């Protein structure tokens, strides 16, 4: 196995002079060198051959001893100098000071073809940023991160990728429900792959420490390596502030794009703290995330957030904006002018209003929505929440509703989407009246469109996945893997490689969450314990 090492972050940015793993406050440095922990009995549970290819590895490499040793943390690749990054962040709206990679270790950067990737082990032991925790990760959360990273990619959502899921053979103590019942669980390490793991929080920590010099170095580094278009577009522009403004605009655009994709597929991140926001606009840090089953703007999968629901589905776009405001504050010392930053935040808001409606329009097969359609969109969102309605199943089945109806009462349409309702008995009175009204208006609108039913269905099925990684599905894979059977990991991985395609052999996954999973641990809400 040969990795084409090409480190930059740890070459061009300042290192913490201390090289031990002991916990500490780090100033004046972007990262600390660390050594991954050697696992006692690593075992490969699953790997993505596609991600392996991205970084220049073959299918044969994936099954090699070298691969297992490298991506479990047992052996550092020749020439690599692993490090943990220093960052801060706002957690649940409050500034938390230094956080940093407490259990993530950047192994190296690799170059393959024209791309450079950072390889990062998650769960490979303590670092100076581990604070009170152990630097480890358990199998259940690692499996969820591995599968969901790849699922998101294939759903067309910007995301970090996952190369491998390796059991360490070590036991990790966790109090999963935070109820005093701590127990040992199997440990695991995931290798995440992304252009970089720079977060909003990396800028925030320098800014909070008043370290403008390093703030500038990090911003210049980010532009040079990850947003080179900033330089190209400002060629000859001697005003460096305009570079940072442009960087912020691009990060804002990408963040907006990401969060609209989340809303489209019904993904709820669960912990949108500013340290969990990638500077690339990639989904990062899959913790207590979840997928909407019943379409409910107030739903959050995170038990820690149960009370305030700060990170609920319907609030994600506003939180993305709030997080961007924190990034703007962090970048302010480089710009020293509020107005251009504020303008970009306003632009986020107005663009969101437009792009969100375009996205929902596409979900219902209207690729050309106009102002007069807004009511139709708003009515749909309201009606969907009247009784528990499965988001994924509803939009997928909606594509089968033909334009014109022979039935005055729209009951033919309701019959087509019937499978999406969790409680069919609730489809009476006002609820059914609302649906009839909506389908009537929808079909009037469809009849104005030139698009045939068949062509509309094709378009809708491109944006409405047939399959998503429902929490209960991941939990079934976790239960099986814990009992030693990893077959379901690969089955779900393959299923989620073509989430928009009909997969006749996998029809069983095109189903509402089963009743047994409604309140089962891991299947609906999750704690942050990982």
Q: Which does 34 bind (CB under 5 to 8 A by kind): Mg ion, ligand AMP, none?
A: none
| Alpha carbons 430 and 410: distance in angstroms, whole number | 15
- Binds 134: which of ligand AMP, Mg ion, none (CB < 5-8 Å by kind): ligand AMP
- For ligand AMP, give the closer residue by CB, 89 or 465: 89
Q: Name the burial class of residue 424, with classes exposed (0-12), middle (13-18) and buried (19+) by CB atoms within 10 angstroms of its CB.
A: exposed
Question: Residues near 378 by Cβ (< 8 Å), separated by ≥ 6?
Answer: none
| Residue from 376, 374, 258, 355 nearest 316 by CA | 258
Tell which positions 228-257 bind ligand AMP, by CB under 6 A: none
Residue 428's Cβ-side half-sphere holds a number of Cα atoms within 13 Å equal to 3
Q: Phi/psi of residue 217, each to 5°?
A: -60, -45
Q: Which of 106, 120, 130, 274 binds ligand AMP (CB under 6 A)?
A: 130
**Residue 192: closest CA among 262, 124, 271:** 124
36 lies in the site for ligand AMP, by CB under 6 A: no
Would you call 475 helix, strand, or coil by DSSP? Answer: helix
Residue ranges of alpha helices (H) inside 227-304 are: 228-233, 240-265
**In angstroms, what is the minimal distance from the CB of 272 to ligand AMP?**
9
Spell out the residues 6+ positions from residue 407 whose beta carbon is closer than 8 angstroms to its own: 413
Residue 307 neighbours by CB under 8 Å, 6+ apart? none
Do 137 and 103 contact (CB within 8 A), yes or no?
yes
- Using CB under 6 A as the binding rule, whether residue 102 contacts ligand AMP is answered as yes
**Quick check: 270 binds ligand AMP (CB under 6 A)?**
no
**Residues 46, 487, 187, 287: what is their CA dihedral angle, to the nearest 10 degrees?**
80
User: Closest residue to ligand AMP, Cβ-based?
Assistant: 102
What is the enclosing helix (H) or strand (E) of 191? strand 183-194
Q: Radius of gyration of the chain from Cα atoms?
A: 24
* 90 sits in which H/E element: strand 88-91
Active-site annotation holder among 220, 275, 285, 296: 275
Q: Which residues share a beta bridge with 23?
A: none
Least separation in angstroms between CB 104 and ligand AMP: 6
Binds ligand AMP by CB under 6 A, chosen from 39, 82, 135, 301: 135
Quote the CA–CA distance of 504 and 510 in Å, as a whole number: 10
Whole-number minimum distance, CB 319 to ligand AMP, in Å?
Answer: 14
State in angstroms the smallest separation of the CB of 431 from ligand AMP. 38
Contact with ligand AMP (CB under 6 A): which of 287, 290, 301, 317?
287
* Pick from 61, 58, 176, 42: nearest CA to 121: 42
Q: By CB under 6 A, which span of 130-138, 218-226, 249-257, 446-454 interacts with ligand AMP?
A: 130-138
Residues lying near Mg ion in the complex (CB under 5 A) are found at 276, 285
273 counts as binding ligand AMP under rule CB under 6 A: yes
Look at the chain and count its residues. 530
**Spatial CB neighbours of 31, under 8 Å, sequence gap ≥ 6:** 9, 10, 13, 15, 16, 83, 84, 85, 86, 106
Catalytic-residue membership of 275:
yes
Question: Quick check: 87 and 204 in contact, CB under 8 A?
Answer: yes
Q: With contacts defined by CB under 6 A, how many residues of the chain interact with ligand AMP?
A: 17
438 Cβ contact list (under 8 Å, min separation 6):
376, 379, 380, 383
With CB under 5 to 8 Å by kind, the binding choice for 185 among Mg ion, ligand AMP, none is: none
Q: Which of 60, 133, 229, 415 binds ligand AMP (CB under 6 A)?
A: 133
Q: Rule CB under 6 A: is residue 136 a binding residue for ligand AMP?
A: yes
User: Of 134-142, 180-188, 340-348, 432-440, which part binds ligand AMP (CB under 6 A)?
Assistant: 134-142
Candidates 19-27, 45-53, 128-136, 182-190: pick the segment binding ligand AMP (CB under 6 A). 128-136
**Residue 166 in contact with ligand AMP, rule: CB under 6 A:** no
Per partner kind, with CB cut-offs from 5 to 8 A, the member of ligand AMP, Mg ion, none near residue 101 is: ligand AMP
Binding test (CB under 6 A) with ligand AMP, winner from 61, 145, 246, 285:
285
Give the x/- contact pattern for ligand AMP in 80-99, rule: CB under 6 A: -------------------x
Cβ proximity to Mg ion, 9 vs 467, nearer residue? 9
Residue with smaller CB distance to Mg ion, 285 or 390: 285
Single out the segment in contact with ligand AMP by CB under 6 A; choices: 70-78, 125-133, 140-148, 481-489. Answer: 125-133
Q: Is 182 in the site for ligand AMP (CB under 6 A)?
A: no
User: Closest CB to ligand AMP among 69 and 101?
Assistant: 101
401 DSSP 8-state letter: -
Contacts with ligand AMP, residue ranges (CB under 6 A):
99-103, 129-130, 133-136, 271, 273, 276, 285, 287, 528
Catalytic residues, by residue number, are 275
């Amino acid at each position: 196995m040969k990795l084409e090492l090409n480190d930059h972050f740890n070459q061009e940015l300042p290192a913490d002079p201390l090289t031990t793993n002991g916990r500490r406050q780090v100033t004046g440095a972007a990262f600390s060198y660390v050594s991954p922990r050697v696992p006692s009995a690593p075992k490969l549970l699953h790997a993505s051959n596609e991600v392996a290819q991205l970084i220049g590895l073959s299918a044969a490499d994936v099954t090699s001893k070298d691969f297992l040793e490298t991506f479990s943390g047992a052996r550092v690749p020749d020439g690599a100098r692993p490090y943990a990054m220093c960052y801060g962040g706002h957690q649940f709206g409050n500034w938390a000071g230094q956080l940093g990679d407490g259990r993530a270790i950047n192994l190296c950067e690799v170059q393959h073809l024209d791309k450079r990737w950072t390889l990062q082990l998650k769960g490979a032991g303590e670092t100076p940023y581990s604070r009170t925790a152990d630097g480890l990760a358990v199998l259940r959360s690692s499996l969820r991160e591995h599968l969901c990273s790849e699922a998101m990619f294939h759903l067309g959502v910007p995301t970090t990728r996952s190369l491998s899921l390796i059991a360490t053979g070590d036991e990790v103590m966790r109090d999963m429900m935070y109820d005093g019942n701590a127990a040992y669980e199997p440990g695991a390490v995931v290798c995440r792959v992304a252009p970089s793991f720079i977060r909003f929080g990396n800028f925030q920590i320098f800014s909070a420490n008043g370290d403008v010099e390093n703030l500038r170095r990090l911003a210049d580094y980010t532009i040079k390596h990850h947003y080179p278009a900033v330089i190209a577009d400002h060629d000859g522009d001697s005003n460096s502030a305009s570079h940072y403004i442009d960087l912020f605009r691009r990060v804002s655009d990408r963040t907006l794009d990401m969060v609209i994709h989340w809303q489209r597929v019904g993904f709820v991140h669960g912990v949108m703290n500013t340290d969990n926001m990638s500077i690339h606009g990639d989904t990062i840090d899959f913790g207590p995330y979840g997928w909407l089953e019943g379409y409910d703007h107030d739903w959050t999968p995170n038990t820690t957030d149960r009370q305030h629901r700060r990170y609920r589905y319907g609030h994600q776009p506003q939180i993305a904006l709030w997080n961007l405001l924190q990034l703007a504050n962090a970048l302010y010392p480089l710009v020293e002018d509020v107005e251009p930053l504020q303008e970009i935040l306003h632009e986020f808001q107005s663009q969101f209003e437009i792009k969100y409606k375009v996205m929902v329009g596409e979900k219902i097969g209207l690729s050309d929505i106009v102002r007069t359609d807004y009511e139709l969109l708003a009515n749909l969102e309201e009606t969907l929440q009247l009784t528990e309605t499965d988001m994924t199943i509803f939009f997928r089945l909606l594509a089968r509703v033909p334009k014109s109806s022979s039935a005055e009462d729209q009951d033919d349409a309701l019959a087509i989407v019937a499978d999406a309702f969790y409680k069919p008995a609730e489809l009476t009175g006002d609820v059914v009246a609302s649906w009839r009204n909506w389908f009537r208006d929808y079909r009037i609108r469809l009849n104005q469109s030139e698009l045939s039913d068949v062509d509309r269905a094709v378009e809708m099925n491109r944006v409405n996945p047939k399959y998503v990684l429902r929490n209960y599905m991941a939990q079934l894979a976790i239960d099986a893997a814990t009992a030693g059977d990893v077959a379901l990991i690969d089955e779900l991985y393959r299923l989620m490689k073509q989430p928009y395609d009909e997969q006749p052999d996998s029809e069983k996954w095109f189903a509402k969450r089963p009743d047994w999973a409604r309140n089962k641990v891991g299947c609906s809400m999750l704690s942050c314990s990982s």
